A and B are shown apart, each in its own frame.
Chain A
Amino acid sequence: MRLTLEFGGGLELLCDSEKIHKVNVDLPNGAAAADDFTMKHLLSWVRTNLIKERPEMFMKGDTVRPGVLVLVNDCDWELSGQLDTTIEEKDVIVFISTLHGG
């Protein structure tokens, strides 16, 4: 599944200082169809494949660290069920950290 992932608010430093990543994600074996692919799976994939250092800055347990905002197609993931949000081909997912000086 082809997706665009963006990292902001300092998170890019965890991914080789690249803000935008165009990726091709393999569906996990457990997912019977593309409909089953959720943010939960994606986060796990990101942690394994894109986060090169200090994973605790990005995730806490199964979900993102508190203070990291997630937008799916420019829409707050709190509206679409957070971890249960289904992800589709060509989606744009943005992760913004708020944990820095203002």
Chain B
Amino acid sequence: MEASEAKSKRAGGSRLCCICNKRRPVLKRPKTLQQICRECFYEVFEEEIHQVIVQNRLFKSGERVAIGASGGKDSTVLAYVLSELNRRHNYGLDLFLLSIDEGITGYRDDSLETVKRNEVQYGLPLQIVSYKDLYGWTMDDIVKMIGLKNNCTFCGVFRRQALDRGATLLKVDKLVTGHNADDIAETVLLNILRGDIARLSRCTSITTGEDGPIPRCKPFKYTYEKEIVMYAYFKKLDYFSTECIYSPNAYRGFAREFIKDLERLRPRAILDIIKSGEDFRIATTTKMPEQGTCERCGYISSQKWCKACVLLEGLNRGLPKMGIGRPRGSVNGDNKHTKAGSTAKSIESKQCGSLDF
């Protein structure tokens, strides 16, 4: 009798799902510490995301929306849930999958196979845009030139633009990405650690870029990474899960480690950090960068040249440090100097993409 009692206690059988009070719980929600069963989990997970979408007015009926899809856990679950909610609640959206091929062998080529399967499984048309086509450089080429530091700077900057260009090709009205609560909490910390006030003020917005080419939003802003993974596991969703081979050197890793340790002690910390980020107010005496457009390609930029153009110029001139770190004086100190000499010569580098904004 002791053994069977122990067994039922272990399986959580002595308690029932907090919500339905009928079924055996399978998960403890970090957000609420509730113990819930599989079916109730699906319901609250999907319903909460629906509420985030509705309360923040993320979409309008008839919009064409591209889902930034990498084949990873967040974007796969996003594609699945968004198409389901679109159907269930009649959002009236035209959904697409947009994937970026950075040219990272052994990582991106595998995950793209997953997105191609998602295209079939979810019935969403797929568009792939590559760094090679847009910039003339793959990440593998870039790393060969610059070494293993600052890779994420190049990749992140290029990817942001690549998504916008892909979205333009698809003629969509909006972009959605799978950034989850853990990601956003990490970003808040990262920006604090770096003193990046401009980014700090923007990074918790659920919709960004409304004054740029394509607005983008993050329906998973309040969704815990743990729940995304559990949802994908129970629903047996097909996703690709390997760390980018260049990521071990990324600074974000420290913020991530810290957030994960924090979550263990106090799971609510993740949402609370996001709340702190939302409620920050910048002192009026702080100088903030002004937004304009890039002189070279027309993309939005707070400097004369957008970061992608600066980085690309550096790559094509064999000056891998250009645009990295903070030179003394203005942020674009380097840039002013090189621009002065370059107007007369023709540059071998490709123009930043073939589309001008």
Q: A76: CB under 8 A from chain B?
A: yes
Interface of B is mostly: helix
Interface residues on A, range: 20 to 34
Contact B12 A67 (CB under 8 A): no
Residues of B within 8 A of A44 (CB): none
Q: Across the two chains, which residue of chain B brings its CB closest to A60?
A: B261
- Bound-state Cα–Cα, A75 to B242, Å: 24
Residues of B within 8 A of A76 (CB): 25-28, 230
Residues of B within 8 A of A88 (CB): 7
Which of A23-31, A45-53, A77-85 contacts its partner?
A77-85
Contact A100 B242, CB 8 Å, known A67-B260, A75-B26 = yes
Contact B26 A74 (CB under 8 A): yes
The 8 Å CB contact of B10, one of A80, A99, A102, is: A80
Which chain A residues (38-75) contact chain B, with CB distance < 8 Å?
65-67, 69, 71-75
Q: B6: CB under 8 A from chain A?
A: yes
The 8 Å CB contact of A66, one of B75, B241, B261, is: B261
Q: B120: CB under 8 A from chain A?
A: no
Shortest CB–CB separation between residue A83 and chain B, in angstroms?
12
Shortest CB–CB separation between residue A97 and chain B, in angstroms?
7
Interface residues on B, range: 35 or more
Residues of B within 8 A of A65 (CB): 260
Residues of B within 8 A of A78 (CB): 28
Q: Interface centre among B25, B75, B179, B233, by most A CB within 10 Å?
A: B233
Q: B174: CB under 8 A from chain A?
A: no
Contact A80 B70, CB 8 Å, known A75-B26, A88-B7 = no
Which of B188-196, B221-229, B274-282, B305-313 contacts its partner?
B221-229
Shortest CB–CB separation between residue A55 and chain B, in angstroms?
16
Q: B263: CB under 8 A from chain A?
A: yes
Shortest CB–CB separation between residue A68 and chain B, in angstroms?
9
Residues of A within 8 A of B261 (CB): 66
Contact A9 B10, CB 8 Å, known A66-B261, A66-B263, A79-B35 = no
Q: Across the two chains, which residue of chain A brings its CB closest to B230?
A: A69
Contact A97 B11 (CB under 8 A): no
Shortest CB–CB separation between residue A43 and chain B, in angstroms?
15
- Bound-state Cα–Cα, A74 to B226, Å: 14
The 8 Å CB contact of B74, one of A71, A96, A102, is: A102
Shortest CB–CB separation between residue A23 and chain B, in angstroms?
20
Q: How many A-B residue pairs have CB under 8 A?
A: 88
Interface of A is mostly: loop
Contact A9 B229, CB 8 Å, known A98-B73, A100-B72, A102-B75 = yes
Contact A102 B264 (CB under 8 A): no
Q: A4: CB under 8 A from chain B?
A: no
Q: Across the two chains, which residue of chain A brings its CB closest to B73?
A: A102
Shortest CB–CB separation between residue B307 and chain A, in angstroms?
21
- Bound-state Cα–Cα, A81 to B12, Å: 10
Residues of B within 8 A of A72 (CB): 10
Shortest CB–CB separation between residue A4 and chain B, in angstroms?
15
Which chain A residues (1-50) contact chain B, with CB distance < 8 Å?
8-10, 13, 35
Contact B229 A69 (CB under 8 A): yes
Contact A101 B244, CB 8 Å, known A35-B6, A66-B263 = yes
Which chain B residues (169-215) contact chain A, with CB distance < 8 Å?
178-180, 183
Residues of A within 8 A of B229 (CB): 9, 69, 96, 98
Q: B288: CB under 8 A from chain A?
A: no
Contact B226 A101 (CB under 8 A): no
Interface positions of B (Cβ within 8 A of A): 3, 6-7, 10-12, 15, 24-28, 35, 70, 72-75, 178-180, 183, 225-226, 228-230, 233-234, 241-244, 247, 256-257, 260-261, 263-264
Interface positions of A (Cβ within 8 A of B): 8-10, 13, 35, 65-67, 69, 71-76, 78-81, 85-86, 88, 94, 96-102
In addition to A75-B11, A97-B241, 8 A-B residue pairs with Cβ atoms within 8 Å of each other are A9-B73, A13-B242, A69-B230, A73-B11, A75-B25, A79-B35, A100-B244, A102-B183
